[in-house]
Structure 1
């Protein structure tokens, strides 16, 4: 079954998006980030948060990335339930993967609920692979996280001089 692709515009998250992103957190996660936590990320120089806007400039998805040295940690990926399976998360991930390549990050990594088969399949289709588990990482309900990582290979040739 072919998934239809929703037309979205991916832009950096700003203060105008915070209410909608906080609402999306509450809808999608059992332990959501608060509006204040999201607002703090706007001032975090190590973070990049993106929103996916529909044709009416409503937030239908968002994703967060923290970069430490040459490592990228995807903190959150969320899509409104009625907009899932329409390529929104995939488009957000594509921006982060292009950023990772452009900035020569060694890898992108994230945690996902072990029971979130759709997300695991999505990440797998984008080249992420399971590299481990975090026991009881999630609360409400308690559940393991699958650690998924996409490594970037920029060639191993090094000069000898």
Structure 2
């Protein structure tokens, strides 16, 4: 039976996180960005989703005062479609609520309908558009947000 765990990201996870990152994004972050986020950014909170101790997803967020911003969320392609993204996102929202956050926001590609549907399940609604937000193809991002506190 698979053991599913969501826990705080550690430096030793970054190799596996990079596998998820590269498989998920056309403009992946580099290793040093994750290292800086978890060692130097006092506003950053990153979590990994593991199955049998293998990292198959992660989520990151910045919390400043009572606002949370999701920086990234990704699930390894072979594990998608099993509601693991929902589990991970729900966990991040619970963490944010526990930190006293009252608003949560994120950007999502206009073409990423699957992610938009998932975010709507958590009450997020579109709040605007960031033109040419994604540098790989200049795609617009929809800003979605929700009051959670």
TM surpasses 0.5: yes
Corresponding residue for 1:119?
115
Gap regions ≥5 residues in structure 1:
1-5, 154-161
Q: 1:61 is paired with a residue of what secondary structure? A: strand
- Which of 46, 49, 57 is equivalent to 1:49? 46
**How high is the TM-score relative to the length of structure 2?**
0.93
User: Across the two proteins, how many residue pairs are aligned to each other?
Assistant: 147
Q: 1:95 is paired with a residue of what secondary structure? A: helix
Q: 1:143 is paired with a residue of what secondary structure? A: coil
C-alpha distance in 2 between matches for 1:69 and 1:104: 8
Answering whether residue 68 of structure 2 is matched by residue 72 of structure 1, we say: yes
Gap regions ≥5 residues in structure 2:
none
- Which of 75, 82, 89 is equivalent to 1:86? 82
Corresponding residue for 1:159?
none
RMSD: 1.3
Deviation per CA, 1:70-122: give whole Å up to 9, x if none: 10010000011111111211111111211222222121100000000100000
CA contact (8 A) 1:72 1:108 kept: yes
4+ residue segments displaced more than 6 Å: none
**How high is the TM-score relative to the length of structure 1?**
0.86
Change (3 A) 1:7 1:108: farther
Corresponding residue for 1:11?
7
